Amino acid sequence: MRDPSAFLRKHGLPITAQRLAVLRAVSAHPHSTADALAEAVRAEIGSISRQAVYNALGTLVEKGLLRRIQPAGSPALYEDRVGDNHHHLICRTCGKTVDVACAVGDRPCLKAADNAGFKIDEAEVIYWGTCPECLPLAPARSEEQSPLKISESDKPTQNPSI
């Protein structure tokens, strides 16, 4: 997004310092939590209320400027890459999240085998696994761990993006 101000204006949204700063923070730190983004914004413009961050993220997601992903066991993450139907690959150990192109092509994921009468508008795909850095640390894995729940002791680098 080249001109965030123009975009906000186009949608009839008042342009505020908070919204612009949140937008820049997401762009600079994709796949970050609301909390991490609030910190990033504070580093840039001094201060912002928690609610203002949630407000900004909420309306920007609603208007389609941002995308919210909510992995199991993790707070919501935000990114500014929208409209290309890409998916995500998340490390169960450190939480690192990377984008992956849709495996099936452009937007075919929207077709379920049987839609049960639903009108489907989104296919959300999350690949769970272990990232290259964490592979040597935890080669074996039992049936399931609570994903993204890192005990304070064995976390290598939480929120590596920010």
Which residues of this chain interact with DNA, rule CB under 7 A?
9, 12-19, 33-35, 47-52, 54-56, 58-59, 70, 75-76, 146, 149, 151
63 binds, among its own copies, DNA, none (CB under 5 to 8 A by kind): its own copies
What are 19's two structure tokens? 């919204």
In angstroms, what is the minimal distance from the CB of 44 to DNA?
13
- Length of the chain counted residue by residue: 162
The residue from 1, 6, 17, 112 that contacts its own copies (CB under 8 A) is: 112
The contacts of residue 116 (CB under 8 Å, 6+ apart) are none
Residues 16-30: b if buried by 16+ CB within 10 A, e if exposed: eebbbbbbbbbeebb
Say how far apart CA 22 and CA 60 lie, in whole Å. 9
Tally Cβ neighbours within 10 Å of residue 96. Answer: 21
State the binding string over 57-86 for its own copies (x if CB under 8 A, else -). Answer: -x--xxxx---xxx-xx--x----------
**Residue 143 interacting with its own copies (CB under 8 A):** yes
Residues of this chain that interact with its own copies (CB under 8 A) are 58, 61-64, 68-70, 72-73, 76, 87, 89, 91-92, 98, 100-104, 109-132, 135, 141-146
